[in-house]
């Protein structure tokens, strides 16, 4: 039973448009154009991850997005001095801190807030003062959520990757356990006063169960949508995701 009919926002991650561009070099396909199409298709925000190695999104991409898109930009980044300076210069609507390893293909897990509380509290404070909404990308674990609250984050984004992997691999017990963890921890985080988002690995098949969780107010989805766009176009791919989210939370 859905206990809350609050509108569920969709943030579209455009990183992998830049991945395709960078594979050959040059200017095409253009992440800014992808962002504009996403907005036309019903996205509520744009997400871009500026990695330390600049493997996809570039500094110029961030500058153009800040200057030219009409919706909030969610800047994903590692908690490094370089990235903090970039965020403080551009002052995006939101900053989402994620763990980052150079050799990983994609973000493999949540940020370990518990082990870095003091450093993260000091890192986050100037971002909040600058007016950025700070989010931490974490696993659905109570100790990480409590630590996120203590360090001053306003938002958490629950890592849905393990849930999506369990679904894709047909591991039904793991799927049920991971989904329940997200459900329980979303409620726990909201009770602590944190805004709750979710993301990573979501597809048409997995989005509705997460969209039904009333405490989750935003989903960030990227790789799957860019993949679907190859076959069906970006705007139809986003529109279908939006349709399924709406069906889950009428």
Q: With contact defined as beta carbons under 8 Å apart, do 67 and 55 qualify?
A: no
Q: Is 49 among the residues known to form the active site?
A: yes
Torsion (CA) 141, 87, 211, 145 in degrees, nearest 10: 20
Mean local confidence (pLDDT), 70-85 = 96
pTM for the model stands at: 0.93
Catalytic residue among 159, 200, 215, 218: 200
Q: With contact defined as beta carbons under 8 Å apart, do 83 and 54 qualify?
A: no
Q: With contact defined as beta carbons under 8 Å apart, do 169 and 208 qualify?
A: no
Catalytic residue among 76, 157, 178, 218: 76
Confidence class for position 101, pLDDT limits 50, 70, 90:
low
Catalytic residue among 49, 56, 90, 197: 49
Torsion (CA) 62, 22, 160, 121 in degrees, nearest 10: -40
Strand (E) positions, 147-194?
A: 155-159
Nearest to 228 by CA among 220, 240, 237: 237
Q: Is 143 helix (H, G, I), strand (E, B) or coil?
A: helix
Q: With contact defined as beta carbons under 8 Å apart, do 192 and 149 qualify?
A: yes
The alpha carbon dihedral of 51, 52, 55, 58 has a sign of positive
Residue 138: which H helix or E strand, with range?
strand 133-138
Q: Is 116 among the residues known to form the active site?
A: no
Give the tens place of pLDDT for each residue, 1-49: 334 458 999 999 999 999 999 999 999 999 999 999 999 999 999 999 9
Instruction: Give the per-residue pLDDT at 76.
Output: 97
Give the tens place of pLDDT for each residue, 216-233: 999 999 999 999 999 999
Instruction: Output the CA–CA distances (angstroms, integers) from residue 239 to 10, 114, 243, in the order listed.
Output: 11, 38, 6
Give the tens place of pLDDT for each residue, 201-210: 999 999 999 9
62: tokens are 């961030």
Say how far apart CA 190 and CA 213 lie, in whole Å. Answer: 12
Q: Is 195 among the residues known to form the active site?
A: no
């Amino acid at each position: 039973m859905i206990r809350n009919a609050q509108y569920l926002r969709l943030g579209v991650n455009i990183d992998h448009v830049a991945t395709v561009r960078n594979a050959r070099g040059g200017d095409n396909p253009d992440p800014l154009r992808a962002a504009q199409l996403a907005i036309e298709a019903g996205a509520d925000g744009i997400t871009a991850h500026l990695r330390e190695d600049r493997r996809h999104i570039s500094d110029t991409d961030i500058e153009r997005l800040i200057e030219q898109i009409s919706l909030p930009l969610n800047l994903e980044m590692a908690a490094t001095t370089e990235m903090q300076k970039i965020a403080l210069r551009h002052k995006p609507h939101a900053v989402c801190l994620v763990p980052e390893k150079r050799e990983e293909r994609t973000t493999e897990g949540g940020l370990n807030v518990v082990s870095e509380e003091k450093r993260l509290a000091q890192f986050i404070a100037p971002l909040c003062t600058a007016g950025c909404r700070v989010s931490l990308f974490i696993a659905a674990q109570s100790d990480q959520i409590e630590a996120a609250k203590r360090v001053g984050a306003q938002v958490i984004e629950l890592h849905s990757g393990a849930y999506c992997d369990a679904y894709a691999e047909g591991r039904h017990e793991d799927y049920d356990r991971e989904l329940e963890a997200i459900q329980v921890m979303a409620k726990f985080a909201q009770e602590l006063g944190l805004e709750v988002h979710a993301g990573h690995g979501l597809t048409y098949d997995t989005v509705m169960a997460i969209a039904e969780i009333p405490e989750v107010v935003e989903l960030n989805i990227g790789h799957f949508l860019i993949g679907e766009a190859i076959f069906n176009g970006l705007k139809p791919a986003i529109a279908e995701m939006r349709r399924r989210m709406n069906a889950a939370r009428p």
